Amino acid sequence: MSNKKRRYLDSFMTLLFITGIVIFMYPFVSDRINDYLDQQIIRKYQQQAQQQKTEELEKIQQEYLEKNRELAKSNSSPGSDPFAEEEPEKVTQSTIQKHTIGVLSIPKINVRLPIFDQTTSFFLEKGASLLAETSYPVGGESTHAVLSSHRGLPKAKLFTDLDQLEKNDLFFIESQNGKLAYQVDQIKIIEPTDLDDLMIEKGQDLVTLLTCTPYMVNSHRLLVRGHRIPYEDQDIEKEVKKIDSQKKRSLLILVFVLIELLVVGIVCFICYFKH
């Protein structure tokens, strides 16, 4: 084989090798990047909440509580299936901050997502979206918040592992009304149009996590419901901090992998020109 043909073959094999690595790493890298962006949204929300005056926070909280009371009185049905809505919307950074109303943490599956007060295709891919006509996630009797998110996206984890939750597992919500804890008491699979399990139950303080199922088929909906329990600061903070440490570890792994790919690329580039 001539040197020229050999060089072309080496170049092709190198390109094929790098392409294979990129395809293999895409889900991991894109998930880490999207997760990093989600954590930035959460930090900005927390900073904004700290900077707001007590009077402003109390006003927002009262607005949420009043809307929840109105929902409880009207006993209206929840909005339509969130995954059937595909309305376009121009999204800016200010839009994201405007619609961020809390933080959802699920330690068992290493998930920490911003909560948005609007269900659109964009917000479903960025965090947990509040289903229309369900209670704001600020707690209180006769409330039932429904938080939905995608599952199985190649670029983001979101609710992909929601089916791993079992009864008595815990998840937490940070909102204008402080930090709330919920314990899983019901797990169901329903038809997309069957919304009876999302109704408000008198005297109960409930939150349901909703996503598509089966994985990659998405013909039904998985409901993971929790009832509110006392928030034990010391124990729960440890669980939430575990999520942060795991996410930092994942980010370091991503940086290491990218550096390795860069080194491999440089070595291949140098070898190509030497030959």
At how many degrees (to 10) do helices 3-51 and 233-274 cross?
160
Indicate which residue of 212, 220, 268, 271 is catalytic. 212
Is 212 annotated as catalytic? yes
User: CA–CA separation, 228 vs 231, rounded Å?
Assistant: 9
Q: Which residues of 159-191 are buried (b: 16+ CB within 10 A; e: fewer)?
A: bbbbbebeeebbbbbbbbbebbbbebeebeebe
Indicate which residue of 99, 150, 220, 268 is catalytic. 150
Is 150 annotated as catalytic? yes
| N-terminal to C-terminal alpha carbon distance within the chain | 14
In degrees rounded to 5, what are phi and psi of residue 7?
Answer: -65, -40
* Token pair belonging to 216: 């990659």
Peptide bond into 78 cis (omega under 30): no
Nearest-CA neighbor of 175 among 145, 209, 219, 216?
A: 145
Q: Which residues, in sequence order, are CB contacts of 57 under 8 Å at separation 6+?
A: 49, 176
Share of the chain residues as helix, strand and coil, in percent rounded to the nearest 5: 50, 25, 30
* Token pair belonging to 20: 């294979």
Q: Are strands 178-190 and 220-229 parallel, antiparallel or unpaired?
A: antiparallel
Nearest-CA neighbor of 91 among 131, 118, 114?
A: 118
Say if CB 107 and CB 60 are below 8 A apart: no
Query: Which amino acids are annotated catalytic?
Result: 150, 212
